[in-house]
Every structure is written in structure tokens, then in C-alpha cells.
Amino acid sequence: MTTEPAKPRSSRRNFLKVAGLAGAGAIAMPQVSRAQTVTWKYQSTWPTKDIFHEFAGDFAKRVNEMSGGRLKMDVLAAGAVVPAFQMQDAVAAGILDAGHGVCAYWYGKNKAFSLFGTPPSLGWDAHSFLAWMNYGGGYDLYNELVQQQLKLNLVGFLTGPMPCQPLGWFKKELKTADDFKGLKYRTVGLAADLMREMGAAVTILAGGEIVPALERGVIDGAEFNNPSSDSLLGFQDVAKVFMLQSYHQAAESFEIIFNKTKFDALSPELKAIVKYAAESASSDMLWKALDRYSKDLEMLRGKGVNVVQTPEAILKSQLAAWDKVLEKLSAENAFFKKVVESQKAWVKRSVGFERINTPSRELAYTHFFKA
């Protein structure tokens, strides 16, 4: 009678032994997977010290940490492998695996490209623009342009809502729209068409080339993006008038692109990590930008820079110029027209809601900070 109870004890021991081995295997499998890492060359279009390059690194940090090292983004600055304006071609060809830039840099291939980076100032901001990308059909149109019309071997994510860009840096303050006539001015993307419509002689330069050109008198004025980036480039050393507010680039965002062949080869989990890292970095970028840009604007004031608001007369002239640019380019390019109509429909509905729903920030700010 004493032998009967021993059998179940032996069975339990065997079961626990087998279960333990199975459990160990279940734990070991992910460890084997995680040991198989992929390192991607990821180049920005920005100089090492630029806050934009920092933003590019913030995205990479999220991917590296969330993937547990299975996908490692090796962050490189502009020129490390190819010049800034050659980054897109290098990613499509597989010379680079990924890149960080702005859509406006590629508008030479199709002017509609700039609609996904520096869209017309329809009364929206970059938050609303990214909402259109995700919920208003923007990504369908972006993918149609990239993969069907231009047949580029790329996958892209738009991220990082930029605050409205300043009109730029000048040797003397601009008072009226006539001051743009004959002005040698640097900008990129659709803003180049806009400023030409206003009479400016536009030159398209990479970030690192702008200040030397302004110093030598090759250009009379220029915009890059924000107080932090502009101060690092040294604008304050060659010009003392910094004009804020403009409709030339009021709703811009960054673009992160990947070689499509390599991206498609990722596991579904890693693809999701890349997508959600872009969305996470998008919010963090704006939080950081509001902190740093405001601090650096005060720093520029302390260095004798005259910070002025762009006169309303110039702003109204920009909007009138947008009318002509959009009409002209829509007549020339059916896809361009298709994108603009989608954007206008989104803005009319969504910003229409915001206008009646959101109280005036100006009214509240002046109430508490009258000085």
C-alpha cells in the first residue's frame, strides 16, 4: 500500500522537469532573436551641432531602446556619407539605410513633394498638417507620389510639427512687400516659388552655406528655421534684424525615410516600433523646441539682435502670392492639384472647428502678461 502513492510523486517530478525545460526554452527563444542585431546607417541632412540633428538622434534613441538592440540606428550627420541634398537618392539606392530631412529638399523631382513638408499657409499649423497626413488621406497621397509616380524605393514617416518659421535675417528691416522686389533671398521648396512671386531673386542653399553667402553679400536675406538652429549657424554675426512671423513655411514637419526593400524585410514588431518611435519623437520634438527656441530667442536679443514682427502688409502679400502659386502649379500638375484640394478640404473642416471651439490665445496672454 506504500508503493501506490509513490507513482504520482514520480509523475509530478517528471512533469515539473519537462515543464521546466519547456519554460527555459520559451525564455531562451527571444534571447536568441534579440542577439541577432541589424545596424542601419542613418544620416541626417543637418550639421552635427544643429538641434535638427539632435531631433534625428532622439528618434534613433527610441528605436534602439524599444527594439532591445535588435535594430540599431547608427546616427550620422550631413556629409558623413553623402551631401545633404543627395540623402534621398542614397537611401533609395541602399547606400544609406535611412535618413532624416524635410520633403522640401526633394521638390526638384516633383513640386508636389513640398506639399508634404512645406504646404501652403491655409490657416493651419503643423499639428493640423500631421493630422491630415494621418487622418485626412495625406499618407495615401504621399505614398502615391513616392512609390507610384516617382517609383522611389522608399518608405517614409512625417514627424515633428515645427513652429511657424521666421521670415528670416536681414541687414535692414523690411517694411512693405515692395522691399522684396529684387531682394536676393535664400529659402527652399514651395517657399522659393512664393518669394519669386513676390519679386525676390531666390537662391536655394544648404544650411551650412547660408551664413557665408549672407556675409559675402551673395544674398541679402535668408531664412533657415528657428532661433536655435539659426544661432548655431551664426546668423547673428552677419545680420542684426531677425523678422518673426511668415506665411512661407507655417506648417512644416520633418521626414524620416527608409530603404523600402530593407524596411519591408523587418519583422512586423520592428516595423511597428519604427512607426511608433516616429510618433513618440514627434511630440517630444515640439516640447523640446518650445523650450529651446524661446530660450535662444532671448539669448539673441541679449546679443544685440533686433527681433521684430513681420508687418501685416507683407503677410497679406504672401497670402496673395500663395493664390497665384497654387493656381499656376495646379494647372501644370494634376497630382499637385489633387493634393492641394485634399489639404483645403481638411483645413476647411478641421480648422473651421478649431476657430469656433478654441478661445483666443492672444486675449488670454495679454490679460496675464500685459507688458
In 3D space, the residue among 294, 302, 300 whose CA is nearest the CA of residue 234 turns out to be 300
Domains along the sequence of the chain with CATH: 38-162+251-291 (3.40.190.170), 168-249+305-368 (3.40.190.10)
The pLDDT of residue 14 is above 50: no
d(CA 354, CA 288): 24
pLDDT in tens, 238-263: 999 999 999 999 999 999 999 999 99
pLDDT in tens, 319-347: 999 999 999 999 999 999 999 999 999 99
pLDDT of residue 32: 37
Burial class (CB in 10 A: 0-12, 13-18, 19+), 103: buried
Average pLDDT of the chain to the nearest whole number = 90
pLDDT of residue 206: 80
The pLDDT of residue 24 is above 80: no
Q: 3-class DSSP state for residue 358?
A: coil
The pLDDT of residue 137 is above 80: yes
pTM of the model: 0.87
Average pLDDT over residues 185-196: 92
User: Which DSSP letter does residue 46 get?
Assistant: S
Q: 3-class DSSP state for residue 44?
A: strand
pLDDT of residue 18: 41
pLDDT in tens, 85-122: 999 999 999 999 999 999 999 989 999 999 998 899 99
Reported confidence tier of residue 6, pLDDT bands at 50, 70, 90: very low
pLDDT of residue 204: 86
Report the Cα 117 to chain-centroid distance in Å: 7
If you search the block for the grid coordinates 497621397, which residue do you land on?
A: 141
In 3D space, the residue among 184, 188, 183, 182 whose CA is nearest the CA of residue 165 turns out to be 188
Reported confidence tier of residue 371, pLDDT bands at 50, 70, 90: low
pLDDT of residue 7: 41
Share of residues in the chain with pLDDT > 90 (%): 85
pLDDT of residue 19: 43
Characterize the bridge pairing of strands 306-309 and 71-76: unpaired
The pLDDT of residue 11 is above 60: no
pLDDT of residue 370: 85
The pLDDT of residue 233 is above 50: yes
Average pLDDT over residues 2-29: 41
CA angle 158–164–167, rounded 5-degree value: 125
pLDDT of residue 55: 97
The pLDDT of residue 31 is above 80: no
The pLDDT of residue 278 is above 50: yes
Lowest mean pLDDT among 34-43, 63-72, 264-273, 359-368: 34-43
The pLDDT of residue 3 is above 70: no
d(CA 309, CA 362): 15
